[in-house]
Structure 1
């Protein structure tokens, strides 16, 4: 099997700010696998908070590419590589290859009847007035995901709620609050009708959530990278955010779906701001999710060819075979 790895950079439409970081571009790896005329592709951005870069992911793939062939199973890949962004790109490329080789869509391989999705639109951190303006400009999206830190979070939320009284609001704090701050902000969040607060506390510093009853559902993102961390996260959070970049691919993402459903947790699918090639495998996971965040291409200055179709109402069309799966 021929395996190639390319690095591509995509500028953001506008600088995208979250807790502790401002992103001006998204750098990705594109893995292509090919044999007997069948080609599969997968993309990964990796996880910045794990110090992954396109170069480090490409190096990770160098060490295993000679051990991959057309019959490499999803399970054997998990044994060959640890959880990482590089494994995500390769795992998704192999799923795409299997579909192309079988002459079927991914839905047939996984016995899923797909439905079209409604994605959130993400508002990066800015001044309260700018965030309110961007929320108003995103009127076609019924659901908004709001990036916040510990600086004037309620003022920002109040401005957005005033601009968009109709919207479902999800907060993403990216580890930016303390437990005391969370308890302080929860009453206002509940009053403002926040549907979920994602990763309020720092990874590894959220033991205080065990036994804590929050009036607003709390979601685990950075606190649950993959299956090995699932049980602990399930004791602390109401919602699990599955990102293929962090969990190492569609195979482990679907395993996390099964684990969360068995525990009665709600599910979210998220993204690390990749192109439609990153979103397409996440579209599979999203079939099982209450919260869907696959708006990454909308934040980029341009997407790849044959990208997902984003329609009014936040509706995202099914990925075509020319894109993936």
Structure 2
């Protein structure tokens, strides 16, 4: 018999964090712990209101399958038992962590993947005035890739202000669904020759027929809110997206994230390993899949005022793989 424990934790953000969907000063996470009587596997998720999730609803989802977990649920069985989302992510990651501890084999080896390497991570600047975002970019001079959050066409001024003070930087522009089709055209025209890697989720998640999908349109577009699982990929490609942001909380855990990344790469998408704001425990599983990622965006813990024990180690812009004491 296995024992399941579900808890909610609150973590303060260093300052505040503002995106087009709103501002937050703290985050609420749900942690799943699965114990076999000797060892415990851990998984953490962040319920996200944009996807109609709350700590209570996610906790209830996990507790609803407690009997299956306690009698020995596998990660494969979990995929059909729960829908993609934060709840399944917490359980899936806890099961993988427990299996690694039981077998004394790292998760990356269990998945037959290359050993995770240290990688450069993007660093996120939340929405502010152009002046403040330029100042923040200068303070973040150790990061060669910056993700700029914007909430409309005014964000173009912030992008240009950052590029003026950081001509060395490469940018990811993250609109979080805040642009209109007309504004997207203006953004692309203004930034077509700028060092912009991609524009992330410019339009509403269900706006698939409003994008200029010509092969030469730059910067390329990256799907975030529009992407959850493998089944979304064909429609995204047809709509003109050429990159995808894979997050554990959206796709429902490490198991689906691996399958999703493989499918995306086979179709020709660029892949970004992304995250919600969260602790190192929430980031660790995704770092097992770094070999599939063209871009790593694993700065979640850097935006918090404090972190878990045995946290991820960041050397400047480089995030190191997790130690076994943290996860996996």
Alignment: residue pair count:
324
* Structure 1 residues 90 and 210: alpha-carbon distance in aligned structure 2, compared to 1, 3 A threshold: farther
Q: TM-score, normalised by structure 1?
A: 0.97
Query: Gaps (5+ residues) in structure 2?
Result: none
Match of 1:100 in 2: 101
Q: Is the 8 A contact 1:46 1:272 kept in 2?
A: no
> What displacement does 1:210 show?
6.7
SS in structure 1 opposite 2:12?
A: strand
* Structure 1 residues 2 and 210: alpha-carbon distance in aligned structure 2, compared to 1, 3 A threshold: farther
Match of 2:304 in 1: 300
Match of 1:182 in 2: 184
> What displacement does 1:248 show?
0.5
Match of 1:11 in 2: 12
Q: Distance in 2 between matches of 1:69 and 1:261?
A: 36
Match of 1:249 in 2: 253
* Structure 1 residues 308 and 70: alpha-carbon distance in aligned structure 2, compared to 1, 3 A threshold: farther
Q: Distance in 2 between matches of 1:119 and 1:32?
A: 28
* Structure 1 residues 207 and 315: alpha-carbon distance in aligned structure 2, compared to 1, 3 A threshold: same
4+ aligned runs moved over 3 Å, structure 1:
210-213
RMSD: 1.3
> What displacement does 1:151 show?
4.5
Q: Distance in 2 between matches of 1:66 and 1:266?
A: 39
Q: Is the 8 A contact 1:123 1:144 kept in 2?
A: yes
Match of 1:268 in 2: 272
> What displacement does 1:46 show?
2.6
* Structure 1 residues 124 and 92: alpha-carbon distance in aligned structure 2, compared to 1, 3 A threshold: same
Q: Distance in 2 between matches of 1:323 and 1:94?
A: 14
* Structure 1 residues 210 and 190: alpha-carbon distance in aligned structure 2, compared to 1, 3 A threshold: closer
Query: Gaps (5+ residues) in structure 1?
Result: none
Match of 1:160 in 2: 162
SS in structure 2 opposite 1:322?
A: coil
Q: Is the 8 A contact 2:92 2:252 kept in 1?
A: yes
SS in structure 2 opposite 1:177?
A: coil
Q: TM-score, normalised by structure 2?
A: 0.96
Cα shift readout 1:243-301 (whole Å, capped 9, x = no counterpart)? 00011000010110111111011100111101000100111233211111110000000
SS in structure 2 opposite 1:252?
A: helix
Q: Distance in 1 between matches of 2:71 and 2:290?
A: 27
Q: 1:216 aligns with which of 209, 216, 219?
A: 219
